[in-house]
Amino acid sequence: MPLRQDSWWKRKTKLERKLIVVALVSLCLAGFLLISLLFCQRIHSTFLGSDDICLTRECVETAGEVFRNMDESVDPCQDFYRFACGNYIKHSLISNDKTFANTFTVINDILQEQIKISLEEAPSAKEPKPFVTVKKYYRACKNKTLTERYGLDIARKLLKDLGGWPVLEEYFDDFTYNWIDSIRALRKTGLSVNSLIDISVGLDFKHSTKRLIQIDQPGLGLSREYLVKGISDKIVKAYYEYMVDIAEMFGCDRPKASEELLESLQFEINLANFSLSQEDRRNISNLYNLLTIQQLEAKYSQIPWLDLINTIMPKNVQVNRSQPVLVGVPYYLQSFEKLINSTPKRVQANYVMWRVVKDLISYLNQEVKDRELIFKHAINGIQESPPRWKECIDETTSLAPIVIGAMYVRKYFHVEAKQNALEMVKYIKEQFKDILRSIDWMDSETRKSALDKANTIVDHIAYPDELLDDQKIGQLYDKLEVDENQFLYSALNISKFTMDYTLSRLREAVNKTDWKEHGFPAQVNAFYHPLENSITFPAGILQGVFFHKDRPRYMNFGAVGSVIGHEITHGFDDTGRQFDKNGDLVNWWKEETKIKFLEKAQCIIKQYNNYSIPEVKLKLNGVRTQGENIADNGGVKQAYLAYKKWQRSNAPEPKLPGLKYDPRQLFWLSAAQIWCSKHRPEAIALQVTVDAHSPAEFRVLGPFSNSEFFAKDFNCPVGSKMNPEHKCSVW
């Protein structure tokens, strides 16, 4: 039965629910008042004894948030994460529609509310057409009546039009089936064509001013890290049961679905086994295998490559056999060729159509989505689906991010935040260059190349100005049409529009600062782009616990400053270091310096390999997470030293009220509290298994315990957990 129907809450009477809500609200209010009274008392006593306290509204609110999150009963020299975030973990509730409660989810909730307001405003006469279009799409998504009534029937018809899902069909013509015909039908419809082989257009790694057709292993219906464990793994079993249940909902006989989809699953497990792991993909040179289509056809002769590629490319961008293509994983193609020739066509078709059905589920009726929820619960512990309007915000944003971004920044972003962030980027970049000049393990030639690369990093802060230009937005999306009464077909139309646009750029000149590549401000994230040698900080992250223009700089440098340093360091982590200042895959390292770098990176790998999550009995993967860990360590160090430099040329900043910590200690608290997080066990197990990022607590414990500056600021004795004798440092 669906989780949402079996929940404890649903079994209560209306009176019981009201009483429970009143009791919980009263308890929360009482707790909040108690904390507020204690905090006010601290402010009063602190203020009486000092005149260097900031009492602006923003300082008081910031101090209150810092105080509410931390647990001062914990020794900061033993576990700074629990010291900084202990009460956040104790008192935060994970809402039923989430897998984590953290600073990112808080800001994302605010972002969703803001986008909702914009999308639900009635269109004005002067509103750009793309704004009207996305509002229509949002309304189509929210129309549950049509989805409930027709969603499943529309999906069944779509499958028929695509040639049918064999598990549902009484008759399937094995003789005439060809998987490339399926890809052709999917491409015409706007559905993903990458379930067997991923074919895309991207920058040439070694000549990043040009674009290439890229051929790679596909994304799978379940993460490779699970599939390679085989059918006996509990998550793989949950995936299989999900497949069978969905087929039954579409009208298939269960025994038949169980038998045929087991074969389909084994086919997918084989694809996973042929695929390269995340760890092995960190050496970018291994992913660079340049061939012409003619050479590709000679090497993997059982696949009609020219036909396949031209099937996927737009009609106005067809290629011939002299066209160069970039092959990511030759072993995958070699193994796939053998597998596809030895696999019954019915199994091939069942797998391809299962991947179609899986992609369609979010557009279908609630009963089908409830079954998806059970599968998601097995993977990440989620209890309920988000409210429909939130699902529709995410759906609309994912399909039209530039339009949503334009609507967001016009209404909500303050331009002063952009200027302040640019100033911080300047300070932190300069600090990173100071670090490059001072480290003793680089030879002079490699150091010069590193400094050249650091000097060349391009900044994309908040949003490109073109998002304020109606004409620019209109030109990009002018031909896009949606039907408010056809949610699924409108989604497919947008998907096909986006696919055509992306693939049609094959022969376009490359402009690495193109606004269309950086016009996604409505997100709480940040990026380093190795092929551009650029850093991007969308407007969405320049708020909340990360940044406020009116609070002390030590808080901003600690929070978003650490993120800025993190992204800069990505240009010099184990993968970023493989690209030069122009974004080209070039070895610019002297061999002896490269060996020293790898030794330092190995120290980070070993350190994080030794971290574990007892509640799920899993250890971190130091190889898979090394890039993010190197960036975390370098980022907070750069931000701290940049703040110290800022201090030297500016007047002393006042402390926060009610807190006994000086500005440098508050820097560390700010840097730690961006990672305050509470998780479901399933969600943390998923993260440790598949994610390139370490769990939140180790994004504090790792970098801070490696920092001599942190140890000095908190007077941590040598040998304490936060000040070990042996430390790791790359940058």
Q: In what order do the strands lie in the sheet with 527-529?
A: 458-462, 534-538, 527-529
Which residue is it, tokens 């400094």?
Answer: 451
**Bridge partners of 342?**
none
Q: Which of 146, 143, 142, 97 minimizes the C-alpha distance to 393? A: 142
Report the C-alpha gap between 16 and 9 in whole angstroms.
9
**Residues 218 and 314: beta-carbon distance below 8 Å:** no
**Residues 645 and 430: beta-carbon distance below 8 Å:** yes
Q: In this structure, how many other beta carbons lie within 10 angstroms of the beta carbon of residue 212?
A: 19
The three-point CA angle 632-637-642 to 5° equals 130
**Bridge partners of 202?**
212
- Ordered alpha helix ranges (H), 228-313: 234-249, 254-274, 293-299, 305-312
Answer yes or no: 445 catalytic.
no
Report the C-alpha gap between 64 and 46 in whole angstroms.
14
- Cα Rg of the chain (Å, integer): 27
The three-point CA angle 135-136-139 to 5° equals 85
Which amino acid appears at position 570 of this protein? H
Beta-carbon contacts of residue 238 (< 8 Å; ≥ 6 apart): 375, 378, 379
Report the C-alpha gap between 263 and 259 in whole angstroms.
7
The three-point CA angle 108-112-114 to 5° equals 115
**DSSP 8-state assignment for residue 339:** H
**Helix or strand or coil: residue 606?**
helix
- How does 407-446 read in b/e, with b if 16+ C-beta sit within 10 Å? bbbeebbeeebbebbeebbebbbebbbebbeeeeebeeeb
- Catalytic residue from among 632, 653, 682, 713: 632
- Cα atoms in the 13 Å half-sphere on the side-chain side of 692: 15
Answer yes or no: 567 catalytic.
yes
Report the C-alpha gap between 291 and 300 in whole angstroms.
12
- Catalytic residue from among 79, 260, 395, 567: 567
The three-point CA angle 125-131-132 to 5° equals 60
Q: Which of 106, 67, 110 minimizes the C-alpha distance to 413? A: 110
Which amino acid appears at position 554 of this protein? Y
Report the C-alpha gap between 230 and 263 in whole angstroms.
13
Name the residues annotated as catalytic. 567, 632
